[in-house]
Copies of this chain bind each other. A is one copy, B any other.
Amino acid sequence: MKESNSNSTGVKEIARLANVSIGTVDRVIHNRKGVSDETRKKVNAIIEELDFRPNKMASLLARRDQVNIGVIIPKISSETNYWSYPLAGITQAVDELKQFGVTVTPFLYDSDSKSSFVEAEERALAADLQGVLLAPSFIEESLVLTKKLTDANIPFVFINSDLPRQESLSYIGPDLFQSGRLAAQIISMMAREADDIFIVNISTELELDHHLLRKEQGFRKYFEDHNIANTILTLNINHTDNQSVKKQLSKALASAPNARVLFVTNSRVNVVARVLADHPQKLILVGYDFIEENIRCLENESISFIISQRPKEQGYHGIMALYKHLFGLGDAERTNYMPIDIITKENFHYYKN
């Protein structure tokens, strides 16, 4: 390995060329006061000309700041390990950033419990945080938090779902509408003309979960745009247990004998798969999210494919966006839609998200 060319461009060289001290150069670089306009211009001209970029390693080494990022996301429930993937991404980011003085404090809540969300919020606000990564499951309660964060000048990033018009640094997550369209496209390629299609929304809080609605809208829009004539029915189930799903699903299927495709708009698709196990007819089943239960259903072919939007990357990029912002390394886009992936039995193995 060669030695680096030592007369390269650094603050020292800039100082020499500008006939000022490196202290002044430093002030110019960081836009701090204490520099006359004339000097600032001169130094900036030289910085421009040399295309000087501060050495990141030296910067971070010299700066002794520590940054603590609060992470407010659902805990992993017995029902689904979905949030283990964003968490894995967060952990990976922190591993990489540990040496740059970045730490993370988790504030996990139960995604079925508004009160636990509020409690997590309160704990986060009481902590000494320089940034927040937030999955805003409950809209009103999230707005309370983001207002306070904005007032306190603490930057925050949304993952998994967005609250528009907030002072958030960034949103990192799915484009729900578009993912519905994608599901529709694949299903339209698989379905026969005579097949009826069921959109199945399963949630204890159907009216609150605008996620499901957006996906359904995207799905229906695709069929409209392409003038595809299949009958599309919606089935709303406001319980998540096996028995309730089974009962309502059986009833719905009995009333629609031509139904051959089921599009489940969230990760509960594995519950439907279980219920359908003893259904006489083979149905095409499509759903959401790269979670263990769903992968097992891909394996035994009870689910045809699932849609996934890089849950691990969401966590990883969320932390990275905050880190870059806090250390003045540039800001991410306001809206960052993740790629929409189609996962099947034949490719889940390499999907390391």
Contacts and interface: CB of A to CB of B under 8 A. Distances in A.
A64 B3 contact: yes
Contacts of A344: 182, 185-186, 342
A58 interface: yes
A304 B178 CA distance: 17
Interface in A329-352: 337-342, 344-347, 349-352
A185 B55 contact: no
A178 B339 contact: no
Interface stretch (A38-46, A65-73, A233-241): A65-73
A304 B3 CA distance: 53
Contacts of A178: 346-347, 349-350
B58 A1 contact: no
Contacts of A55: 61, 99
Contacts of A4: 64-66, 101
A344 to B, nearest CB: 6
Given A57-B60, A304-B189, A66 B346 contact: no
B65 A1 contact: yes
A215 interface: no
From DSSP, what is the main secondary structure of chain A's interface residues? Answer: mixed
Contacts of A128: 2
B57 A100 contact: yes
Given A222-B346, A304-B189, A344-B185, A2 B65 contact: yes
Nearest to A103: B2
Contacts of A84: none
Contacts of A326: 1
A57 B60 CA distance: 7
B340 A347 contact: yes
Nearest to A326: B1
A67 B1 contact: yes
A170 to B, nearest CB: 15
Nearest to A130: B1
A345 B130 CA distance: 41
Nearest to A344: B185
A190 B60 CA distance: 54
Interface in A126-168: 128, 130
A185 B352 CA distance: 20
A29 to B, nearest CB: 15
A33 interface: no
Interface centre among A1, A60, A67, A352 (most CB of B within 10 A): A1
Given A1-B130, A2-B128, A4-B66, 9 more contacts: A3-B64, A3-B65, A4-B64, A53-B99, A57-B100, A178-B350, A185-B345, A341-B341, A341-B342
Interface of A: 1-4, 6, 53, 55-58, 60-61, 64-68, 99-101, 128, 130, 175, 178, 181-182, 184-186, 189-190, 222, 284, 304, 326, 337-342, 344-347, 349-352
Q: Which 10 residue pairs spanning A and B have beta carbons closest together?
A: A1-B65, A182-B346, A57-B57, A340-B347, A342-B342, A2-B66, A339-B350, A185-B346, A57-B61, A181-B346
30 contacts: A1-B67, A1-B130, A2-B68, A3-B64, A3-B65, A3-B66, A4-B101, A6-B64, A53-B99, A55-B61, A55-B99, A57-B100, A175-B350, A178-B349, A181-B346, A182-B344, A182-B347, A184-B346, A185-B344, A185-B346, A186-B344, A337-B350, A338-B350, A339-B341, A339-B352, A340-B346, A340-B347, A341-B342, A341-B347, A342-B344
